Structure 1
Amino acid sequence: MSDDATPSAHHFGITVSDLDEALAFYRDVLGLDVLAEFEVSGEAFAEGVAVEGASADFAHLDADGARVELVSYDPAGDDVRGGAVNDTGATHLGLSVPDLDAFHESLPDDVETLADGPRTTASGTTILFVRDPDGNLIEVLEG
């Protein structure tokens, strides 16, 4: 494959139902910095995402050099939130923190976690899965 045709990472996208609520979670709970907020609409966008009449509100956030894109579509699609991490097609965002116990203690009481605290796996990695307000999975690792 030629260099002009080889993809490179640009962003990791997460579809949300309420951009303001999601933005508050990713910014205030996870501490990600907001890079940009914008709206996209028009025929080319609707054709590009294959959703008739689509428009969307976006927020781009910085996760230590990785761009996280939150997007809220109009019209909204089917609600598929809250799936299990082992469902085919399930996705999650992976973030790292230096002290996972301190991160866990700092979480607001209403943030759902898959376990009641961090767990160290057989590989030696300490993990904690949390859900954003729409039920999207975020794996937080110590390291």
Structure 2
Amino acid sequence: MAEKLTCGVHHVGLTVPDLDQAHAFFCDVLGFDVVGGRPDYPAIFVSDGTILLTLWRAADPITARAFDRRANIGLHHLSLAVPDDAALDEAWEKISAHPEVVVDMAPEAMRSGSSMRHFLVFIPGGIRLEFATTKIKA
């Protein structure tokens, strides 16, 4: 077996149409912290202490085309982990109540017979996020 050349995800970069809107969602709704940025790019770096996200503003948000997960090559969705069912339910209540969030899939088992649960939404700006429990119920 070949030796692995990588050891996990360093960060994920997401292009957004509105940097202020993305900042508000990740920091005010999800509780991420701003850990850096490049105003000239423009981009901000946000983190929940485990994952680092680079949020880049599209050069021309008016003409930028939204990603079509069924037609384009690229990021289908980003899945963020929550520790357990209580955290998933709390995230669902807060996120699904956000006026600019579009629900793609309400909380459900990840697959038949699984105790792990998840939900998917399109956040402000149209990026598809999944929230999934990391622990299997005993």
* SS of equivalent residue, structure 1 residue 78: coil
Structure 1: 5+ residue stretches without partners: 41-55
Tell me which residue corresponds to 2:22.
22
Identity %: 26
- Residues 63 and 95, structure 1, Cα contact 8 Å, conserved in 2: no
Pair 1:112 & 2:102 matched: yes
Count of residues in correspondence between the two structures: 121
* Cα RMSD (Å): 2.4
**What does residue range 60-139 of structure 1 map to in structure 2 within 5 Å?**
60-76=45-61, 78-81=64-67, 83-84=68-69, 86-91=70-75, 92-97=77-82, 98=84, 99-107=87-95, 108-110=97-99, 111-115=101-105, 117-122=106-111, 124=114, 125-139=116-130
Relative to the length of structure 2, the TM-score reads: 0.74
Give how far 1:7 is off.
Answer: 5.4
Q: Distance in 2 between matches of 1:122 and 1:17?
A: 33
Give how far 1:73 is off.
Answer: 3.4
- From the superposition, tell whether residues 142 and 87 of structure 1 become closer, same or farther in structure 2 (CA, over 3 Å): farther
Give how far 1:79 is off.
Answer: 1.2
Tell me which residue corresponds to 1:50.
none
Give how far 1:122 is off.
Answer: 2.2
Which has the higher Rg, Structure 1 or Structure 2?
1
Relative to the length of structure 1, the TM-score reads: 0.71
Give 1:94's aligned amino acid.
Answer: S
Structure 2: 5+ residue stretches without partners: none
